[in-house]
Amino acid sequence: ILQYPTSGTDRQVVTVRDLFMLSQDEFINDNIIGLCLKLCIADLQDEDPECIVDAHFFNTFFYTKLNNPRDGYQSVSRWTKDVNLFEKTYLVVPIHEECVLVLTMYSYLDCCQ
């Protein structure tokens, strides 16, 4: 029912079933969280494009796959193959497990030189 952006491989799709998760006494799911994150990124891109260049945003599936004891890093290694995370100032990792949502932000400031 909703796609943002409307085209491309990096779009977030939200279905009618996902929208029902916004009802009272329901829990939001990864698709809703992903859409909100995409919209925040787009807003930040408009307001401060330089900040976006210094940041890398993961989706909610990144931490789940990374934390998997069987596959771990191997399951997400290709997600960052074209990005040098050590050149980024900020890494944003949403963690969505069961009933808890945490938005973690790792900041590497060049204070060691």
Helix, strand, or coil here: 10? coil
CA distance 10 to 6: 10
CA distance 5 to 9: 9
Residue labelled with tokens 């994150």 = 37
Report the pLDDT value the prediction gives residue 111, as an integer from 0 to 100. Answer: 52
| Average pLDDT value for the chain | 86
Give the predicted TM-score (pTM) of the model: 0.78
Contact 14, 2 (CB under 8 A): yes
pLDDT-derived band at 58, boundaries 50, 70, 90: very high
